[in-house]
Structure 1
Amino acid sequence: SGQGTLLGSIDHSVTAMGGRLLKRWLRYPLVNRKEIELRLIAVLEAKNNLHIRRSIIECLKSVYDLERLGTKISMGHSNAKDLVALKRSLKKLPEIWTFISELKSGYFTYSEKLDNLIELADLIDKAIREDAPPVVNEGGIIKAGFKEELDGLIKVSRSGKNYLAQLEIQERKSTRINTLKVRYNKVFGYYIEVPKARSENVPHNYVRKQTLVNAERYITDELKNYESKVFGAEERRAELEFEIFNEIRKEVVKNNISIQSVARFLARLDCIIDLAEIADQNNYCKPEMNTTGEIFIKEGRHPVIEKMIAGERFVPNTIKLDNRENQILIITGPNMAGKSTVLRQVAIIVLMAQMGSFVPAKSASVNITDRIFTRVGALDNLSQGQSTFMVEMQETANILNNSTEQSLVILDEIGRGTSTFDGLSIAWAVAEYLHDLDKKGVKTLFATHYHELTDLALKKPRVKNFNIAVREWNDEIIFLRKLVEGGTNRSYGIQVARLAGIPDEVLLRAKKILAKVENGELSLDDTPALHEDGDDSNSSHLQLKLFQKPERIILENLSNLDISTMTPLDALNYLDELGEKAKDLTRR
Structure 2
Amino acid sequence: MAKTKETPMMQQYNQIKQNYPDAFLFYRLGDFYELFNDDAILGSQLLELTLTQRNKNADNPIPMAGVPHHAAQNYIDILVDKGYKVAVVEQMENPAEAEGMVRRDVVQLITPGTRMNTSADEAKENNYLVALYHAPAGSFGLAYSDLSTGELKTSTVANVNTVLNELSRLETKEIVIPAPLPADLQANLTTLGIMVSHQTTTTVNAEISYLRQEITAVEQLTALDTLLSYLFATQKRSLDHLQIAKAYAVSQYLKLDRNSRANLELTVNLRTQKRSGTLLWLLDRTMTAMGGRALKQWLELPLLDRATLEQRYDKIGELNTEFFGRDALQEALKQVYDLERLVGRVAYGTANGRDLLQLRNSLRQIPDIMVTLGNFDPAIFGDLLSKLDPVTDIEKLISQAIAEEPPISVTDGSVIRDSYNSQLDTYRDVMKNGKQWLAEMEAKERTATGISSLKIGFNKVFGYYIEVTKANIDRLDPTRYTRKQTLTNAERFITPELKRREEQILEAEAKSSELEYQLFTQVRDRIKQNIARLQKLAATLAELDVLQSLATVAEEQQFVRPTLVEDHQLAITDGRHPVVEKVLGHQSYVANDVDMAADDTVMLITGPNMSGKSTYMRQLALTVVMAQIGSYVPATAASLPIFDQIFTRIGAADDLISGNSTFMVEMAEANTALQQATANSLILFDELGRGTATYDGMALAQAIIEYVHDNVHAKTLFSTHYHELTALESELEQLKNVHVGATEENGNLVFSHRVLPGPADQSYGINVAKLAGLPNPLIKRAATILAKLEAQDVTLSEQGSSLAEPAAVVPNQTTEAGGQLDLFAIPELDPKTQAILDAIKNLNLATTTPLDTMLKVQTWQSDLQK
TM-score range, shorter chain: 0.7 to 0.9
User: Which residue identity lines up with residue 405 of structure 1 in the other structure?
Assistant: A
Asked if 1:554 corresponds to 2:813, the answer is: yes
**For residues 224 and 147 of structure 1, what CA distance do their matches in structure 2 show?**
28
Choose which of 261, 265, 281 in structure 1 pairs with 2:536: 261
> Which residue does the alignment assign to 2:681?
407
What is the rounded CA distance, in whole Å, between the counterparts of 2:671 and 2:486 in structure 1? 85
Q: Find 1:471's aligned residue among 738, 743, 759.
A: 743
- Residues 206, 468 of structure 1: CA spacing in aligned structure 2 closer, same or farther, 3 A cutoff? same
The question of whether the paired residues in 1 share the 8 Å contact of 2:428 and 2:508 is answered with yes
Unpaired segments ≥5 residues, structure 1: 523-543, 560-588
TM-score normalised by length of structure 1 = 0.86
**Contact persistence 2:286–2:549 (CA under 8 A):** yes
Q: In structure 2, the residue corresponding to 1:519 is in which secondary structure?
A: helix
> Residue in 2 aligned with 1:338?
612
In structure 2, relative to structure 1, the CA distance for the partners of 1:415 and 1:209 (3 Å cut) is: farther
Give the superposition deviation at 1:558.
9.1
Candidates 421, 431, 456, aligned match of 2:728: 456
Cα distance in structure 2, aligned partners of 1:431 and 1:389: 17
Matches within 5 A, 1:57-72: 57-72=330-345
Equivalences for 1:75-474 in 2 at 5 Å? 75-103=348-376, 104-109=378-383, 110-111=385-386, 114=389, 117-185=391-459, 189-202=463-476, 203-204=478-479, 205-209=481-485, 211-212=487-488, 214-310=489-585, 312-324=587-599, 326-437=600-711, 441-474=713-746
Instruction: Note the C-alpha offset of 1:219.
Output: 3.9
Q: Give the structure-2-normalised TM-score.
A: 0.59
Q: What code does the residue aligned with 2:371 have?
A: T
Q: Give the secondary-structure state (helix, strand or coil) at the position aligned to 1:262.
A: helix
Q: In 2, are the aligned partners of 1:452 and 1:545 still within 8 Å (CA)?
A: no
* Equivalent-residue separation in structure 1 for 2:520 and 2:435 (angstroms): 27
- The amino acid across from 1:120 in the alignment is I
- Residues 108 and 269 in structure 1, CA contact (< 8 A), matched pair in contact too: no
Write out per-residue CA displacement over residues 280-320 of structure 1, whole angstroms, 9 at most, x where no aligned residue.
11111100011011111111011000011137511100001
What is the Cα deviation at residue 341 of structure 1?
0.7
2-side partners of 1:490 and 1:332: how far apart?
9
Q: Which has the higher contact order (CA 8 A, sep 6+)?
A: 1
C-alpha contact 1:193 1:215 (8 A) present in aligned 2: yes
What residue number does 1:9 align with?
282
Rg (Cα) greater in structure:
1
d(CA) in 1 for partners of 2:550 and 2:651?
Answer: 29
Partner secondary structure for residue 497 of structure 1: helix
Structure 1 position 146, deviation (Å): 1.1
User: Which is worse superposed, 201-210 or 93-102?
Assistant: 201-210
Structure 2: unaligned runs, 5 residues or longer:
1-266, 268-274, 795-800, 821-866
Q: Which residue of 2 aligns with 1:564?
A: none
**TM-fit CA distance, 1:72:** 1.8
Q: CA deviation at 1:44?
A: 0.8
Quickly say closer, same or farther: Cα 1:456–1:123, change in 2 above 3 A.
same
3-state secondary structure, aligned to 1:318? strand
CA contact (8 A) 2:699 2:809 kept: no
Distance 2:688 2:680 in 1: 22
Over residues 340-383 of structure 1, what are the superposed CA-to-partner deviations in whole Å (9 max), with x where a residue is unaligned? Answer: 11000011111111111000100000100001111111111122
Q: 1:423 to 1:199 in 2, by over 3 A?
A: farther
Is the contact made by 1:11 and 1:19 (CA closer than 8 Å) also made in structure 2?
yes
Amino acid corresponding to residue 389 of structure 2 in structure 1:
L
Call closer, same or farther: CA 1:211–1:26 in 2, change over 3 Å.
Answer: same
Is 1:41–1:105's contact at 8 Å kept on the other side of the alignment?
Answer: no
Q: Is the 8 A contact 1:42 1:105 kept in 2?
A: no
Identity of aligned residues (%): 40
Equivalent residue, structure 2, for 1:565: none
Q: Are the aligned partners of 1:408 and 1:442 in contact in 2 as well (CA < 8 Å)?
A: yes
Q: Which amino acid aligns with 1:504?
A: N
Whole-angstrom CA distance in 1 between matches of 2:433 and 2:771: 81
Find the aligned partners of 1:207 and 1:25 in 2 and give their Cα distance: 76
Moved more, 357-366 or 137-146: 137-146
Q: Deviation of residue 188 (structure 1)?
A: 5.4
Q: 1:521 to 1:268 in 2, by over 3 A?
A: closer
**2: distance between equivalents of 1:187 and 1:423?**
88
Q: Which moved more, 1:271-280 or 1:219-228?
A: 219-228
Shift of 1:210: 5.2
Tell me which residue corresponds to 2:776.
504
Q: In structure 2, how many angstroms separate the alpha carbons of the residues matched to 1:237 and 1:128?
A: 15
Whole-angstrom distance in 2 between the partners of 1:227 and 1:513: 103
1:37 corresponds to: 310
Q: Secondary structure at the match of 1:520?
A: helix
Q: Which amino acid aligns with 1:554?
A: Q
C-alpha separation in 2, matches of 1:507 and 1:237: 87
1:487 aligns with 2:759: yes
Q: SS of the residue aligned with 2:692?
A: coil
Q: 1:551 to 1:145 in 2, by over 3 A?
A: closer
Contact 1:132/1:140 (<8 A) preserved:
yes
Partner of 2:791: 519
- 87 and 552 in structure 1: CA distance in 2 versus 1, 3 angstrom threshold: closer
Q: Distance in 2 between matches of 1:217 and 1:85?
A: 48
Quote the Cα distance in structure 1 between the aligned partners of 2:388 and 2:733: 60
Relative distance call for 1:442 and 1:183 in structure 2 (3 A) is: same
Q: Contact 1:299–1:318 at 8 Å: present in 2 too?
A: yes
In structure 2, relative to structure 1, the CA distance for the partners of 1:444 and 1:253 (3 Å cut) is same
Partner residue in 2 for 1:573: none
Q: Which structure has more helix as a fraction of its residues?
A: 1
Task: Give the aligned length.
Answer: 534
- Asked if 1:47 corresponds to 2:320, the answer is yes
Per-residue CA deviations over 1:28-74 (Å, capped at 9, x if unaligned) read 11101111111111111111110000000000000111112122212
SS at structure 1 position matched to 2:428: helix
Q: Deviations over 1:170-215 (max 9, x none)?
A: 2213332111122235565433232232234443534243524x44
- Higher mean C-alpha displacement, 381-390 vs 184-193: 184-193
Q: CA deviation at 1:511?
A: 2.2
Q: Is the 8 A contact 2:304 2:643 kept in 1?
A: yes
Partner SS, residue 792 of structure 2: coil
CA contact (8 A) 2:567 2:641 kept: yes
- Which whole-Å CA distance do the structure 1 matches of 2:810 and 2:350 have between them? 78
Contact 1:328 1:443 in 2 (8 A): yes
- 1:39/1:107 contact within 8 Å kept: no
Pair 1:428–1:218, CA change in 2 (3 A): farther
Cα separation, partners in 2 of 1:199 and 1:372, compared to 1, 3 Å:
same
Deviation, structure 1 residue 482: 0.2
